[in-house]
Amino acid sequence: MMSNGSIISASLLSAIISLLCSGLYLSTAASAHEMDTLWDPEFGIELSYFPNTGYPEQENSNLSFCGQLKAQHTLAQASSPLRLDLFARYDAVDKKRTHWDIRELSWDYQPSDQWLLRAGILQQFWGVTESRHLLAVLNQTDLVENIDGEDKLGQPMLNLAYFYPSGAINGYVLPGFRERTFPGRKGRLRMPIKMGDAHFQSGAESKHIDWAIRWQQTLGQLDLGLFHFHGTSRDPWFELETPQPLLSTLSHTTRNNAYYSPKIRPVYDITDLTGLEAQYLWQSWAFKLELLSDSGIGPWDRNTAVTTGFEYTEVNAFNTGIDMGVLVEWLFDDRGDNAPIDRMSNGWFLGTRWTMNNFASTQALLGVIIDDNSKNWSLEVEHRLTPNLLLTIESRWFSQRQSMPKSGWDWLNTLNQDPSHKLSFLQQEDYLRAEISWYF
Amino acid sequence: MHLINKISCRQTVYWLTFSFSVIASTLIVTHTSQASTASNQQVPQALAEAKKRGYEIAENADLQDLGYSDMQVNVKMILLDAMGRRAERSLAVNTLEMTKDGDRSLTLFLSPRDQKGTVLLTHAHPQANDDQWLYLPALRRVKRITANDRSGPFVGSEFAYEDMIRQEVDDYSYRLLKSTQFEDKPAWLLERTPKDIHSGYSKQHVWLDKQAYRIWRIDFYDRKNTLLKTLFFEGYQQYANAYWRPLRSIMENYQTGKKTILEYSDYRFKTGLTTAQFSQYQLRSQAH
């Protein structure tokens, strides 16, 4: 089932499009300035290889194509651009990974240097750390794209910004909600369990109107950001949908229950999030802090998560022309072992970043996230092959103390007995992925 | 984790706009070979005089650009290595004159296409480290970056970051070496020594003409005091009836055999850019 249709209600989408069209019409009608539209299409081929066998029906390799179209329409002498960013992916194995999204479709209106109004489908990134992005709470994660949580779905919003010389205040109204994307049955890097339909705490379901306000301030080398968000949590919690099987039903392996596996459903609650970010620059060092306090969803009361650390950059290291960076971050969540599945409760990220400063703009980032039960490695490399071709290589390998759960029930038992092993299902999911992107 | 830090972009390009106009001269030095006959008193005196003249020249050169208000230019960067391989980058550079602070610049990366949309914003400060921000289009993230070490290469070119930024008069100490000719033009040869301990250079030799304070050549000496690079400027034209800008500049690295050529086109002055377009809080709106 493609869930794209339900992600934004059709009426909301049409309202936004008509708003944008009227904006375009007005700006077109209002002036005879020369018009300028820039189109930037790109196309990518992605190959993935998983050396270890996963669950039944999962494959060891995968082929996928993606396309992205960016466009900007500007009126000369006017600061009211229209922006479009469309994304689509076809995946040969996982039907749920075949999806498309309007990453952005927005209109900027700037009546003066101090004020800016943005309307449409937008993405808004907040935060300073590298290993995880606690504070990027406005946009839903497009999890099927990458488990690093850096790909986000477009979010309908109205954003009013006020700028002053040393800071800014932003207000957001967020109508409409996007559900997180999850891999399908055949997809890799998934929980060993069936995913049911989403449930919402609010009676308005996905039509609850959320809001957020954010203040940012610069004090010399220190940058601060503070926000509050009220609305539907982009992070779901998971509820077991299937009753625990009786021994008697399991012993009679009929055709139906041979595939009997537990099913969970994502539940999206209303929550209040307060976030603080800080970055302080000193010589070649950047010290970073992200703090998120959540009023609580599902089984959890108010809780707090922290990511903090530093990045040190040695420019022109050893006179080679190469920039070398070292990253260290501490990842914390006060719920301990009971923290959600995607939230490390007490671990460290160590990483190193290399920028070669060569013709091909080669860059690499090697990192590992370590806690008591696991070491999760990642490597990302970028290298330009020709002016229009970019090669990206990504690899992750997971080293868990507990072996891969044999089934969904096995995993749920593990969660009940020792929730610190909640990521044990990643044990067999090491992968190597190469993508070639063509910009034309 | 976010790979595309594009730290290499930390080095900015606003650059050329200024670096050649920093030095100039208004005085005539009758420079005889005092050194050979100098007494103990004369040497420090002559040196002090040369330093004073050098500084005055630099100060006067800086004044040549006063009131340019703002400028936009397109830059094509051609990178050539010793094997003859070639790579190109294209950039659009906007600069804004500030009266009470260092100037501000916005560099838009247009090609290679995988870097399109990346924006580098720099606020120069005469007496302190510059402030820099990078807009990363993949994450739609504005990242403030350290601008501490200026000796690194700019996007794989032979230009170091410190070659590219706005050169404030007080970034260097000066000494007038001699009055000379540069390709039949009466010229000065100045020596300037960076004050920044992070600079990759021990000194620079700068040739500029007496007529309009245009820089034609800079020799860069590395920390071991060996000649490292030479920068040539070509095709100066006057814009807005006041400001001289080159059409081409060529940086040759003698130690690596590499070369970087910058070609400038479509200079525009006083187009009415505002501080809002150079604000870190509005950086995202500037990305194309």
Please state which of the four CATH numbers 3.40.190.10, 2.50.20.10, 1.10.1040.10, 3.40.50.800 is assigned to the domain occupying B70-286: 2.50.20.10
Number of residue pairs across A and B with CB atoms under 8 Å? 134
B152 contact A CB<8A = yes
pLDDT tens-digit readout, A337-389: 999 988 999 999 999 999 999 999 999 999 999 999 899 999 999 999 999 99
pLDDT given at position B286: 83
pLDDT tens-digit readout, B96-126: 999 888 889 999 999 999 999 999 999 988 7
Residue type, B56: E
The pTM (predicted TM-score) of the whole model is 0.86
pLDDT given at position A241: 85
pLDDT tens-digit readout, A165-196: 999 999 999 999 999 999 999 999 999 999 99
Listed residue (A355, A407, A415) closest to A380, CA to CA:
A355
Confidence of residue A246 (pLDDT cuts 50, 70, 90): low
B10 and A108: CB-CB below 8 Å? no
pLDDT of residue B13 exceeding 60, the answer is: no
Percent of all residues in chain A with a pLDDT value above 90, rounded to a whole number: 70
Judge contact between B66 and B242, C-beta under 8 A.
no
Confidence of residue A95 (pLDDT cuts 50, 70, 90): very high
A6-10, A114-118, A291-295: least confidently modelled range:
A6-10
Residue matched to tokens 């050329």: B16
pLDDT given at position A257: 47
User: Using alpha carbons only, what angle is made at residue A138 by residues A136 and A144, rounded to the nearest 5 degrees?
Assistant: 75
Min distance B41 CA to chain A CA atoms (Å): 41
Min distance B23 CA to chain A CA atoms (Å): 28
Secondary element (H or E) of residue A29: helix A10-30
Find the CB nearest B148 among A110, A283, A365. Answer: A283
Confidence of residue B168 (pLDDT cuts 50, 70, 90): confident
All residues of chain A having their beta carbon less than 8 Å from the beta carbon of residue B87 are: 359-360, 387
A216 and B281: CB-CB below 8 Å? yes
- The arithmetic mean of pLDDT across residues A19-35, rounded, is 47
Find the CB nearest B87 among A40, A150, A359. Answer: A359
pLDDT tens-digit readout, B203-259: 999 999 999 999 999 999 999 999 999 999 999 999 999 999 999 999 999 999 999
Confidence of residue A202 (pLDDT cuts 50, 70, 90): confident
One DSSP character per residue, chain B reads ------GGGGS---THHHHTTS-----------HHHH--TTHHHHHHHHHHHHHHHHHHHHHHTTTT--EEEEEEEEEEE-TT--EEEEEEEEEEE--SSS--EEEEEEEESGGGTT-EEEEE--TTS--EEEEEETTTTEEEEE------SBSTTSS-BHHHHS---GGGEEEEEEEEEEETTEEEEEEEEEE--TT-SEEEEEEEEETTT--EEEEEEEETTS-EEEEEEEE--EEETTTEEE-SEEEEEETTT--EEEEEEEEEEE-----GGGG-GGGHHHH--
pLDDT tens-digit readout, A116-160: 999 999 999 999 999 999 999 999 999 999 999 999 999 999 999
Residues 181-200 of B with CB under 8 A from A: 200
Residues 203-262 of B with CB under 8 A from A: none
- The arithmetic mean of pLDDT across residues A278-300, rounded, is 95
What is the rounded distance in angstroms from the CA atom of residue B282 to the CA atom of residue B65? 27
Could you tell me the two tokens for B207? 């040739």
Residues 241-260 of A with CB under 8 A from B: none
Confidence of residue B41 (pLDDT cuts 50, 70, 90): low
pLDDT given at position A251: 52
B8 and A367: CB-CB below 8 Å? no
Contacts of A413 (CB under 8 A, 6+ apart): none
Confidence of residue A415 (pLDDT cuts 50, 70, 90): confident
What is the rounded distance in angstroms from the CA atom of residue A152 to the CA atom of residue A133? 11
Confidence of residue A111 (pLDDT cuts 50, 70, 90): confident
Which region, left, alpha or beta, applies to residue A417 given φ > 0 means left and ψ of -120 to 50 means alpha? alpha
pLDDT of residue B18 exceeding 60, the answer is: no
- The arithmetic mean of pLDDT across residues A408-413, rounded, is 88
Confidence of residue A3 (pLDDT cuts 50, 70, 90): very low
All residues of chain B having their beta carbon less than 8 Å from the beta carbon of residue A290 are: none
A325 contact B CB<8A = yes
B149 contact A CB<8A = yes
Is the pLDDT higher at A368 or at A4? A368
B112 and A437: CB-CB below 8 Å? no
pLDDT of residue A2 exceeding 60, the answer is: no
B128 contact A CB<8A = no
Q: What residue segments make up the domains of chain B, in order of their start?
A: 70-286
What is the rounded distance in angstroms from the CA atom of residue B14 to the CA atom of residue B164? 6
pLDDT of residue B23 exceeding 80, the answer is: no
pLDDT of residue B12 exceeding 50, the answer is: no
Residue type, A48: S
B146 and A286: CB-CB below 8 Å? yes
Judge contact between B170 and B204, C-beta under 8 A.
no
**B123: exposed, middle or buried (C-beta count within 10 Å: 0-12, 13-18, 19+)?**
buried
pLDDT given at position A6: 43
B114 and A384: CB-CB below 8 Å? yes
Listed residue (A180, A269, A271) closest to A228, CA to CA:
A271
User: Least CA distance to A168: which residue of chain B?
Assistant: B281
